[in-house]
Chain A
Amino acid sequence: MPVSTKIILEQLAQEIVDRAMHAGATDAEAVVYEGDEFSTKVRLGQVETLTESTSRAVGLRVFNGQRTASTSTNDFSDASIQRMISGAVELAKITEEDPFAGLPDASEYSPLRNGEGLGIYFDDVYRLAAKDRIEMARATEAAAMAADTRIQNSDGGTFTAATSHKAIANSRGFAGEYRKSYCGIGCAPIAQDERGMQRDGWGSSARTLRKLDTPEEVGREAAKRALRRLGARRVPTQRATIVFSREIARGIIGDIFDAVNGDAVYRNATMFAGKLGEQVASPLVTVIDDGTMMLEPGLGGFGTLPFDGDGLPMQRKVIVQDGILQTYVTNTYIARKLGTRSTGNASRGLAGAPGIGSGNFYLQPGVLSPREIIRRCRTACM
Chain B
Amino acid sequence: MSSSAILHTANDSSHVQSHFGIDAAMAHRCLAAALVAGGDFAELYFESMTSSSIGIDEGIVKSASASHSRGCGVRVVSGERTGYSYTDSLEEDRLLHAAKTAALIASGPATVQIQGFVTAAVHDLYPVVGLDAEITAKLQLVQRADRAARAYDSRITQVRAGFSDEVKHILVIGSDGTWAADTQPLSRFSVSVLANDPAADGGKGATARGSGGGGGRVTLDYYTTVRTPEYFAEEAARQAIVQLTAEAAPAGEMEVVLGPGWPGVLIHEAVGHGLEADFNRKKQSAFAGLMDQRVATDQVSVADNGTMPGRRGSLNVDDEGTPTRNNLLIENGMLRRYMSDKLSAKLMGLPGTGSGRRESYASIPMPRMTNTYMLPGQDDPADILRSVKRGLFAANFSGGSVDITNGKFVFAASEAYLIEEGKITAPVKGAMLIGNGPEALQYVSMVGHDLQLDEGVGTCGKRGQGVPVCVGAPTIKLDRMTVGGTGS
Contact = CB atoms under 8 A, between A and B. Distances in A.
Contact of A50 (B98, B105, B157): B105
B406 A101 contact: no
B307 to A, nearest CB: 30
B364 A69 contact: no
Interface string B69-103: 11100000000111111111100000001100100
B14 interface: no
Contacts of A216: none
B41 to A, nearest CB: 14
Interface in A92-109: 92, 94-98, 101
A51 B482 CA distance: 42
Contacts of A74: 68-71, 88
A101 B68 contact: no
A64 B98 CA distance: 41
A374 interface: no
A74 B104 CA distance: 26
Nearest to A37: B362
B61 interface: yes
Nearest to B288: A197
User: Of residues B63, B71, B80, which shows the largest number of chain A Cβ atoms within 10 Å of its Cβ?
Assistant: B63
Interface string B292-311: 00000000000000000000
Contacts of B82: 48-50
A66 to B, nearest CB: 10
B286 A197 contact: yes
User: Of residues A49, A70, A130, which shows the largest number of chain B Cβ atoms within 10 Å of its Cβ?
Assistant: A49
Contacts of A153: 282-284
Given A50-B83, A199-B405, A91 B64 contact: yes
Interface in B349-402: 362, 364
A101 B1 contact: no
A237 B1 CA distance: 57
A46 B80 contact: yes
Contact of A49 (B66, B136, B364): B364
A75 interface: yes
B135 A91 contact: yes
Interface stretch (A14-22, A54-62, A322-330): A54-62
A91 B66 contact: yes
Contact of A190 (B65, B69, B196, B284): B284
A251 to B, nearest CB: 12
Contacts of B84: 49-53
A69 B104 contact: no
B62 A95 contact: yes
Interface residues of B, number: 51
B282 A155 contact: yes
A209 B452 CA distance: 51
A92 B251 CA distance: 51
B405 A198 contact: yes
B315 interface: no
Contacts, number: 146
A259 to B, nearest CB: 13
Given A50-B84, A73-B69, A84-B68, A98 B62 contact: yes
Interface in B171-217: 194, 196, 207, 209
Nearest to A155: B284
Contacts of B118: none
B87 A54 contact: yes
A352 interface: yes
A95 B97 CA distance: 43
B5 interface: no
B422 interface: no
Contacts of A49: 81-84, 364
Interface in B111-130: none
B120 to A, nearest CB: 26
A173 interface: no
A70 B207 contact: no
B135 A94 contact: yes
Contacts of B60: 96-98
A53 B67 contact: no
B420 interface: no
Nearest to B160: A267
B403 interface: yes
Interface string A94-138: 111110010000000000000000000000000000100000000
Given A50-B105, A53-B87, A269-B158, A70 B69 contact: no
A13 to B, nearest CB: 17
B283 A91 contact: no
Contacts of A83: 68
Nearest to B405: A199
B139 interface: yes
Given A49-B364, A73-B68, A269-B194, A95 B283 contact: no
Contacts of A56: 88
Contacts of B89: 75-76
Contacts of B282: 43, 153, 155
Contacts of A4: 97
A268 B208 CA distance: 11
Contacts of A350: 67
Interface in A160-207: 190, 196-199
Nearest to A84: B68
A72 interface: yes
Interface of B: 1, 54, 60-71, 80-89, 97-98, 101, 104-105, 135-136, 139, 157-158, 194, 196, 207, 209, 251-252, 282-284, 286, 362, 364, 403, 405-406, 482, 484
Given A43-B282, A51-B364, 9 more contacts: A51-B85, A53-B85, A69-B63, A71-B65, A72-B66, A73-B69, A96-B61, A196-B406, A198-B405
22 contacts: A48-B80, A49-B84, A50-B81, A50-B105, A53-B84, A72-B66, A74-B71, A75-B69, A84-B68, A87-B1, A95-B61, A95-B64, A96-B61, A101-B62, A130-B104, A190-B284, A196-B406, A199-B406, A237-B251, A268-B157, A269-B194, A352-B65
Interface of A: 4, 43, 46-57, 59, 68-76, 80, 83-84, 87-88, 90-92, 94-98, 101, 130, 153, 155, 190, 196-199, 237, 267-269, 350-353
The 5 A-B residue pairs with the shortest CB-CB distance, nearest first, are A199-B405, A72-B67, A91-B64, A96-B61, A51-B84
